[in-house]
A and B are shown apart, each in its own frame.
Chain A
Amino acid sequence: MSLADNTPAPRGLSGSMGKLAKLRHAREFNVLIALVIMGGAISLFTPYFLTVDNLMGVSRAFSLTAIMAIGMVMVIITGGIDLSVGSAMGLAGLVTALCFDAGFGQTTAVAAGLAVGAVFGLVNGMLITAIGLPPFIATLGTLSIGRGLMYMITHGVPLTPSTPDSFALLGQGYVVPVPLPVVILLVLMVVFSLIMIHTRFGRHIYATGGNENAARLSGVKTQRVKLAVYMLSSLISSLAGVIAFSRYLSAEPASGFGSELDVIAAAAIGGASLSGGIGSVTGAVMGAALIGEIANGVVLLNINTYAQQAITGGVILIAVSLDVLRNRLKGGR
């Protein structure tokens, strides 16, 4: 059954609300345990792992993936997928850079970057809802278009305009000792978690992915919900793009290239089901953290960096397989 049930049926009336609320977060809890075990294992080999400096550095490194995973997991919960996040991110950074290059102020530049996200989201959303393209195809198309535009604009050469110092704070600043991008990540995580759990919009996202027909027949405007999540995903990705540009102050033609895979992996590790209806924002962020931790461990332990990708792949397969097996063992129907 595609609607995998990750909480056991309460036996009798003892299945009180508090207990259930905890069980519901079982998947996030699993990822958390994996994070701790992996961290413990790495620090056995190098004490440097568990220093504030290193942990903050790691957090900053995975923060952009995690930010994008927040948008992605909402798309995935509706039963869709957004492959264009890397292109939206890259193009947003590039457009921000172009604005600075043309002499615009930072408000305009950032707004222009975010506008790129809005356009991506609108195009994805319309292709999927108005025309009815499968999300995989629609966003595969916009991924290519975005990437192509980036190479056309830059001719493959990074763009490094002069920017005001205040702009660089966005990607380089700290709320001591926490890097600003990590602060932004935490704020987004809290806000979108609350939206997903406590608002009607959030409920409609879960219902759309859980059973689109039933949701529509219950009065949920499923097309509008889908349009909204693709808009959010692209907007969040473009914000990540602006932050990335602020961090390096150089708009690389390949910025964000391939990042959609890490972002999807983060959501999947965090317990999102690609068939929709299941997943959480916190899970996705922790999934990104786990991927970031692996990357860091590989560097610290002097493992061949090429092995990093292979290890990440292994972790995805193990994490999701354990989930599937756990559900199967539980029986259900």
Chain B
Amino acid sequence: MTPFLQMTGISKTFPGVKALDGVTLELQAGEVHVLAGENGAGKSTLMKIMTGVLQADPGGSIRIEGREVDIRDPVHARALGISIIYQELSVVNNLTVAENIFLAREPRNAFGLLDRPRMVAEARRALAELEVDIDPGARVGTLSIGQRQLVEIARAISYRSRLIIMDEPTASLSHHEAQVLMKLVRKLAAQGIGIVYISHKLEEIFEIADRISVLRDGRSVGTHPAAEMNRDRLVREMVNRDFGALFGTHVSHATDEVLLSVRNLSEKRPGSRGTRVRDISFDLRRGEILGFFGLVGAGRTEVMEMIFGNRPATGEIRIAGRPVRIANPSDAIAEGLGFVTENRQELGLVLGMTVRENFSLTHLADYCSLDVVSRPRETAACVDYIRALGIKTPSPEQKVLNLSGGNQQKVVIAKWVARKPRILIVDEPTRGIDIGAKAEVHALLNRLASEGISIIVVSSDLPEVLAISDRVIVLKEGRISGELARDAATQERVMLAATG
């Protein structure tokens, strides 16, 4: 039988990175095909090519029902029957369910006006087809995340999609909502719609998959019927790679002295979305690098924001044995904490400011007398750090928005290191930077630890967490689901604790 979609020899090169290298993927109509792989393996690039957001490098071929096609853009992809449901939902919260389903292709009546009755009726039909009980007139903002996802699926179906790609659809769903969704996925497949299902949750993968394809470092590892796979084999296929060579051997600088002690930290207000983080307790020792791992939505960043006073929380935090009250980031900084945030462009940097101005923002008082900044002292310190960290910038007066991602990240690290924190939290320190810069960042964190700074590394990059941590704490659905000493922390064990 001719597969619905056949991709062969798909490559995609970005400046400096080969994201995909000769990937092959085949999808039958009516199958649930799980695409597995670590972060950075190339799954999202492949999806973007399938949906016309990106164009593959010349040389590969994409066939739909045997016919060679060139997917030009998302609208073209939709016309070819390919829809995608993104992890970040793309519904408009202040429009109704029906308005969302028919967004940008609203039915119109003879006068050219909006044909609301028809729109509502057709939306109701689409929802009924899914056997979901959602009022087409309800505003999407009032629905739960799970329901919003169903609205997106209804929209995809109303396009008469033949192939629906779902990117971690259950990442932010409750267990029950996830069950509803999975049942729906099976039903769609039974109707002959092909599903590409991306998930990190092993349990879920084996529950839903007909076939599983694994990507690793931009290459196809293989496609197997789900029945022939098991967890261990899947994890091995996903993570097997040689890491030690580039990143050197690990030396622990952890002491026995507990510097930070967190007890029963819980989010104060249950968020309207995502998992509520609760009962987080752990100790961090002086000079220790403590890894925090968890899947998307496990609450890693939330925990760090709570410790740093940027998210309301209850519980107890002690630093060097003394209870501290941290109500906002300024309090946290005064207690000797630093936070290299996950999203450097949104949270880490003032893009329109220079390297010097961003660098000194955390500790400007160091260069001030009576609130007046000494520019020479500020510049001298900045130049020192530019050298020490190897930040590639023509001058301290360069605006950070003109720097590359890796160099921007180093500026964020520099501004915190210069503050001389006792505890440094780094959230996804190497996301979006190339492997060379990654190794440099790791070496830097190690050096800081050797100077007695305690470091928490949050990362969704499992090999990274294992490579640099003295100890790993695993989060799952807002709780700590495992704690592993370095020797005990294998990829398989950590992954099991995160998905288990």
Scan B194-224; emit 1 where CB is below 8 A from any A CB, else 0: 0000000000000000000000000000000
Scan A289-327; emit 1 where CB is below 8 A from any B CB, else 0: 000000000000000000000000000000000000000
Contact of B347 with A217 in the complex, beta carbons under 8 Å:
yes
- Find A213's partner among B346, B372, B415 (CB 8 Å cutoff): B346
The B356-405 residues at the A interface (CB cut-off 8 A) are: 357, 360-362, 364-365, 368, 371-373, 375, 394-395, 397-399, 401-402
Contact of A5 with B352 in the complex, beta carbons under 8 Å:
yes
Docked complex Cα distance between A219 and B331 (Å): 8
Instruction: Say which one of A153-161, A171-179, A199-207 lies at the interface with B.
Output: A199-207
Query: How many Å from the CB of A12 to the closest CB on chain B?
Result: 6
- Find A3's partner among B308, B329, B351, B364 (CB 8 Å cutoff): B351
Residues on the A chain within 8 Å of B399, using CB? 5, 7, 9
- Is chain B's interface secondary structure helix, strand, loop, or mixed overall? mixed
- The answer to the question of A164 belonging to the interface, with a C-beta cut-off of 8 Å to chain B, is no
- Find A278's partner among B308, B347, B352, B365 (CB 8 Å cutoff): B352
Scan A202-223; emit 1 where CB is below 8 A from any B CB, else 0: 0110110011011111111100
Contact of B394 with A13 in the complex, beta carbons under 8 Å:
yes
Contact of A218 with B397 in the complex, beta carbons under 8 Å:
no
The B89-134 residues at the A interface (CB cut-off 8 A) are: none
Docked complex Cα distance between A269 and B333 (Å): 38
- Find B368's partner among A9, A16, A200, A207 (CB 8 Å cutoff): A200
- The answer to the question of B330 belonging to the interface, with a C-beta cut-off of 8 Å to chain A, is yes
- The answer to the question of A15 belonging to the interface, with a C-beta cut-off of 8 Å to chain B, is yes
- Find B401's partner among A206, A214, A218, A333 (CB 8 Å cutoff): A333
- Find A219's partner among B330, B347, B372, B402 (CB 8 Å cutoff): B330
The B317-355 residues at the A interface (CB cut-off 8 A) are: 328-330, 333-334, 339, 341, 346-353
Q: A200-B364, A203-B373, A217-B347 are in contact. Are A210 and B398 (CB under 8 A)?
A: no
- The answer to the question of B450 belonging to the interface, with a C-beta cut-off of 8 Å to chain A, is no
Interface centre among B328, B347, B397, by most A CB within 10 Å? B397
Scan A18-59; emit 1 where CB is below 8 A from any B CB, else 0: 001000000000000000000000000000000000000000
User: How many interface residues does B have (CB within 8 Å)?
Assistant: 36
Contact of A199 with B352 in the complex, beta carbons under 8 Å:
no
Scan A181-212; emit 1 where CB is below 8 A from any B CB, else 0: 00000000000000000111101101100110
- The answer to the question of B281 belonging to the interface, with a C-beta cut-off of 8 Å to chain A, is no
Q: A200-B371, A211-B350, A277-B352 are in contact. Are A3 and B401 (CB under 8 A)?
A: yes
- The answer to the question of B460 belonging to the interface, with a C-beta cut-off of 8 Å to chain A, is no
Docked complex Cα distance between A199 and B351 (Å): 20
Docked complex Cα distance between A113 and B364 (Å): 36
- The answer to the question of B252 belonging to the interface, with a C-beta cut-off of 8 Å to chain A, is no
The B429-451 residues at the A interface (CB cut-off 8 A) are: none
Docked complex Cα distance between A9 and B401 (Å): 10
- The answer to the question of B87 belonging to the interface, with a C-beta cut-off of 8 Å to chain A, is no
- The answer to the question of B481 belonging to the interface, with a C-beta cut-off of 8 Å to chain A, is no
| Chain A residue with the shortest CB-CB distance to B348 | A214
Docked complex Cα distance between A319 and B353 (Å): 23
Docked complex Cα distance between A333 and B399 (Å): 12
User: How many interface residues does A have (CB within 8 Å)?
Assistant: 37
Contact of B362 with A219 in the complex, beta carbons under 8 Å:
yes
Contact of B397 with A220 in the complex, beta carbons under 8 Å:
no
Query: How many Å from the CB of A19 to the closest CB on chain B?
Result: 9
Docked complex Cα distance between A12 and B398 (Å): 11
| Chain B residue with the shortest CB-CB distance to A208 | B350
The B300-321 residues at the A interface (CB cut-off 8 A) are: 308, 310
The A206-251 residues at the B interface (CB cut-off 8 A) are: 206-207, 210-211, 213-221
| Chain B residue with the shortest CB-CB distance to A211 | B350
- The answer to the question of A329 belonging to the interface, with a C-beta cut-off of 8 Å to chain B, is no
Q: A9-B402, A13-B395 are in contact. Are A203 and B364 (CB under 8 A)?
A: yes
- The answer to the question of A17 belonging to the interface, with a C-beta cut-off of 8 Å to chain B, is yes
Query: How many Å from the CB of A126 to the closest CB on chain B?
Result: 18
- Find A220's partner among B361, B395, B402 (CB 8 Å cutoff): B361
Residues on the A chain within 8 Å of B349, using CB? 211, 214
Contact of A10 with B357 in the complex, beta carbons under 8 Å:
no
Residues on the A chain within 8 Å of B368, using CB? 199-200
Contact of B352 with A210 in the complex, beta carbons under 8 Å:
yes
Docked complex Cα distance between A31 and B459 (Å): 49
Query: How many Å from the CB of B339 to the closest CB on chain A?
Result: 6
| Chain A residue with the shortest CB-CB distance to B310 | A217
Docked complex Cα distance between A204 and B394 (Å): 25
Contact of A12 with B373 in the complex, beta carbons under 8 Å:
no
Contact of A200 with B415 in the complex, beta carbons under 8 Å:
no
Residues on the B chain within 8 Å of A206, using CB? 350, 353, 357
Query: How many Å from the CB of B462 to the closest CB on chain A?
Result: 26
Query: How many Å from the CB of A199 to the closest CB on chain B?
Result: 5
Contact of A217 with B339 in the complex, beta carbons under 8 Å:
yes
Docked complex Cα distance between A237 and B221 (Å): 69
Contact of A15 with B350 in the complex, beta carbons under 8 Å:
no
Residues on the B chain within 8 Å of A13, using CB? 394-395
Residues on the B chain within 8 Å of A198, using CB? 372-373, 375
Contact of B394 with A214 in the complex, beta carbons under 8 Å:
no
Docked complex Cα distance between A214 and B330 (Å): 12
Query: How many Å from the CB of B454 to the closest CB on chain A?
Result: 19
Contact of A217 with B371 in the complex, beta carbons under 8 Å:
no
Contact of B330 with A10 in the complex, beta carbons under 8 Å:
no
Residues on the B chain within 8 Å of A9, using CB? 394, 398-399, 402
| Chain B residue with the shortest CB-CB distance to A16 | B395
Residues on the B chain within 8 Å of A7, using CB? 399
Contact of A207 with B350 in the complex, beta carbons under 8 Å:
yes
Contact of A218 with B373 in the complex, beta carbons under 8 Å:
no
Contact of A17 with B353 in the complex, beta carbons under 8 Å:
no
| Chain A residue with the shortest CB-CB distance to B374 | A198
Contact of A221 with B330 in the complex, beta carbons under 8 Å:
yes
Contact of B402 with A15 in the complex, beta carbons under 8 Å:
no
| Chain A residue with the shortest CB-CB distance to B402 | A9
Contact of B350 with A210 in the complex, beta carbons under 8 Å:
yes
Residues on the A chain within 8 Å of B360, using CB? 203
Contact of B347 with A214 in the complex, beta carbons under 8 Å:
yes
Contact of A213 with B395 in the complex, beta carbons under 8 Å:
no
Q: A206-B353, A218-B362, A220-B361 are in contact. Are A213 and B347 (CB under 8 A)?
A: yes
Docked complex Cα distance between A9 and B341 (Å): 26
- Find A211's partner among B351, B375, B402 (CB 8 Å cutoff): B351
Interface centre among A1, A211, A219, by most B CB within 10 Å? A219
Contact of B351 with A219 in the complex, beta carbons under 8 Å:
no
Contact of B394 with A12 in the complex, beta carbons under 8 Å:
yes
Residues on the A chain within 8 Å of B341, using CB? 214, 217
Query: How many Å from the CB of A195 to the closest CB on chain B?
Result: 9
- Find B394's partner among A15, A199, A217 (CB 8 Å cutoff): A15
| Chain A residue with the shortest CB-CB distance to B365 | A200
Interface residues of A (CB under 8 A from B): 1, 3-5, 7, 9-13, 15-17, 20, 198-201, 203-204, 206-207, 210-211, 213-221, 277-278, 332-333
Which 3 A-B pairs have CB atoms at the shortest separation, nearest pair first? A3-B352, A210-B350, A219-B333
9 cross-chain CB contacts under 8 A: A10-B395, A10-B397, A198-B373, A200-B373, A211-B346, A214-B347, A218-B362, A219-B361, A219-B362
Interface residues of B (CB under 8 A from A): 308, 310, 328-330, 333-334, 339, 341, 346-353, 357, 360-362, 364-365, 368, 371-373, 375, 394-395, 397-399, 401-402, 415
Known A3-B351, A206-B353; further 7 A-B contacts with Cβ < 8 A: A5-B399, A15-B397, A198-B372, A203-B360, A206-B357, A210-B352, A214-B347
